[in-house]
Structures are given as structure tokens and as C-alpha cells.
Amino acid sequence: QSVLTQPPSASGTPGQRVTISCSGNSSNIGKNYVAWYRQLPGTAPKLLIYRNNQRPSGVPDRFSGATSGTSASLAISGLRSDDEAEYYCAAWDDSLSGPVFGTGTEVTVL
């Protein structure tokens, strides 16, 4: 059911910057805001970014979001071992009249 495409995995060493891409189309990312979430197995998803590049209170500025056309990206700078998790994007889809989600990216800290 995932409509937004992400790479299955990404990795980096501590302190590095990792960027995760999210590709959609003109019905979703091309027209609507993107959000990013982080999830560990068995836990509730946590909001990292909303409205393309806004961080909720409590999310460090190491996390940043950007969009360009029908794609979005999440950057994690100063990578830490506790950043290991699954990250996924989401956007409203005008064709569905509902939200669609990314395929998810597992981030590994080497």
C-alpha cells in the first residue's frame, strides 16, 4: 500500500550526516506537506518533522527536512548510535483523499 518510495537502508558512522530520500508524485508530495517519523520495533511512531521542515518541541536540530518537487528528504547530522531505527515519510494524497506513507528506511550506525 506504500505509495512513497524510500531506500530500504542507510548507514553511517557516528558523527556523520545521513540523508534519506522519499519519492512521490504530483498528488502527494508535489502538492502537500510532508512529515517524517521514527519507529523502533514494538513502540509507537514518533513525529520528527511536520510541514516539510518543522520540528516539534523536543526534536533536536540534528534532524532536518526538505522538499523539492515531488521528492522529500530527511537529514540526520551528527549521527548517534541511538539514531538506529526505521524512518518513514508521509504525505496527504489528493487522489486517495487520505494520507500515504513511505516504504521505510532502516538506519544503521556503523
Partner 1 sequence: QVQLQESGPGLVKPSQTLSLTCAVSGVSINSLGSHWYWLRQAPGKGREWIGHIFHTGSAYYNPSLRNRLTIFLDTSKNQFSLKLTSVSASDTAIYYCARNKGDAWFDPWGQGTLVTVSS
Half-sphere exposure of residue 66: CA atoms within 13 angstroms, side-chain side: 8
- Interaction between residue 26 and partner 1 (CB under 8 A): no
- Interaction between residue 90 and partner 1 (CB under 8 A): yes
**Pick from 44, 61, 68, 81: which binds partner 1 (CB under 8 A)?**
44
What is the spatial distance between Cα 59 and Cα 35, in angstroms, rounded to a whole number? 13
**Pick from 23, 25, 32, 71: which binds partner 1 (CB under 8 A)?**
32
Select from 10-18, 29-37, 62-70, 77-85 the region that touches partner 1 (CB under 8 A): 29-37
Which helix (H) or strand (E) segment is 9 a member of? strand 9-12
**Contacting partner 1 within 48-77 (CB under 8 A):** 50-51, 56
What is the spatial distance between Cα 37 and Cα 50, in angstroms, rounded to a whole number? 9
- Interaction between residue 87 and partner 1 (CB under 8 A): no
* Minimal distance, residue 110 CB to partner 1, in Å: 26
Comparison of 12 and 47: residue with beta carbon closer to partner 1 = 47
Residue from 10, 4, 48 nearest 28 by CA: 4
Comparison of 20 and 35: residue with beta carbon closer to partner 1 = 35
DSSP3 helix / strand / coil % (the chain, rounded to 5): 5, 50, 45
